[in-house]
Structure 1
C-alpha cells in the first residue's frame, strides 16, 4: 500500500513541483521540517487540504450515495496577525 507521502511525491512530480515548494505552502521554516514530515509520513487533515489546494486539487469525503463533502484548506490569517 502506498503511503500518503509517496502519493504526495507523485502529485508533486505530476505538477512539476518540488518538495521544497511545500515549505512555504505549509508555513514551515526550514527544509528539514518537510523532510521530517515526509520521513514520518505525518500529515494532518489540514496539511493535506493545504497541499491539495497548492496543487489545484481537492480532498473530499465521498459518501456511498456519491455525495461529496470537500475539505477546504484553512484560511490564512492576514499578515501582521
Structure 2
C-alpha cells in the first residue's frame, strides 16, 4: 500500500465537526486525512488495506468503518 504525500490534507486543523459545535479531533492533532482524491466522504474509497492495517495496529480508527464513510480519515482511538 502507498501513502501519497501530495494527497495529504493535514492533521492539525482547529475546527468543529461539520454541523456541530464539537471540536474535531483535527483540532487536537489527533486525526489526519490521507490520499484525499480517491477517498471522498460517503464512498468506499481506494485506501490500501495494508495502510489501514498499519494504522489500526497502532490504535487508529478508520473513517471508512463509520456509518457515513470517510475513508481518507484516521484518528487516534487508543494508545498502544
TM-score scaled by length of structure 2: 0.23
Question: Greater relative contact order: 1 or 2 (C-alpha under 8 angstroms, separation 6 or more)?
Answer: 2
Which one has the bigger helix percentage? 1
TM-score scaled by length of structure 1: 0.23
